[in-house]
Amino acid sequence: MFVTSFICALCSYIPFFDFLWGFTFIGPFSYMLWKHRTIILRIRQFLYKRGLIKPMDCDYEAMCAKLLLEQTQAIHYYARTKEGNELGNIAGFFFANFPYVDNGCNFQVADLFAVDIDLDTKRFIKAKLDDINLNAKETMTLLWFNTIAAQHVKLHAMANWGVNVDEALADVNPFFRQSSVVTVLYNFFGYTSFNGFFKTWVDEGLTSSGWLKPEKPFVQALNHGIKENVWQHAQIVDLTKHSEFVNFIVQVRAIFFAEFQKHKDLFPGTDGEAMFVGTILHSLDHSLMDWNLKDPLWLDVDDPRFGKMAELGRVVKVGFVSDIPGLYFHKRYKGSGHPFYEAVYRKAAKINNKFADVMDTCIIK
């Protein structure tokens, strides 16, 4: 389903003026964000290599737990030890057919990436990539790369079932139609346009030339993530007491569908599950990525096994995670003035105001 949906986004017929509008009022601001932020990254990397600055302090063991518990990677939770177990309250997160890029910039797939987290202390215990034992810093790089490649792309792909760009909606639900157009356009930017930036980053010394291989290792990772679909995650409710994110999503999902049922006449031809994923889940995943990885220099580009993924991870963190500045149109549930989005926001804000405030109505980052 996800492969088909992503292709649909790339092939969707939207009116020329919608396309022109997107390239005029979205494209330049997205470009300026990553261009500005990567310049700052280059300066920081230059100063860091010469010992003139230091990264922020990083607790890598705590970071591994954050990237698993407080992002959509939480769906890879498999099981935890029974209460009273002598090992403690340990949760196992399993990633089958795990995609990564080695230090030769070759796309690889491991049979299993497994990470154990202590739910009481919220700290890393151990991790393995097939038969290789990993430390917390290496594990953090793999978790971050998986976030920006194989995991997050699933949200973009599924979102394409939660839009409707038909021009007839301009009269029925113009705000939703605009959000739909933005989602389709930004998915096009992210999948098709992104790979065209690698030469610039190679020329600027931000990434290695191997990322320019004809095989397109990053696109291979994206495609692998789409084809693998979504890990079955009914047991995720076990984490509601240990994850602020999971606790919020479990409750807000019920709110979303109750309100969607009340307002379904405003969303013809739209799949509610896909709309939930493409709006609330997607925007929260971005915000949490930004909040969790506070300093891109935490990613070790000199790591002998995973340094190339760290290179790209730094670029994505600074240029493609946070909100795009300069947008004139409204993109949040909060303040939309739309009966559906406002109803969901009011109830979500009572659960977690910080999370509710960053819920977007479209894919715009």
Round to whole Å and give the CA distance between 179 and 259: 18
Local confidence band at 10 (pLDDT 50, 70, 90 cut-offs): very low
Q: What is the CA radius of gyration of the chain?
A: 20
- Check residue 212 and give its pLDDT: 96
Task: State pLDDT tens for residues 133-171.
Answer: 999 999 999 999 999 999 999 999 999 999 999 998 988
- Check residue 12 and give its pLDDT: 57
Task: State pLDDT tens for residues 255-288.
Answer: 999 999 999 999 999 999 999 999 999 999 999 9
More confident: 74 or 230: 74
Tell me the average pLDDT of the chain: 93
Round to whole Å and give the CA distance between 35 and 204: 11
What are the strands of the beta sheet with 132-134, ordered from one edge? 77-80, 90-101, 107-118, 123-129, 132-134
- Check residue 4 and give its pLDDT: 41
pLDDT at 219 over 70: yes
For 180, the enclosing helix (H) or strand (E) is helix 174-188
Task: State pLDDT tens for residues 38-77.
Answer: 999 999 999 999 999 999 999 999 999 999 999 999 999 9
pTM: 0.94
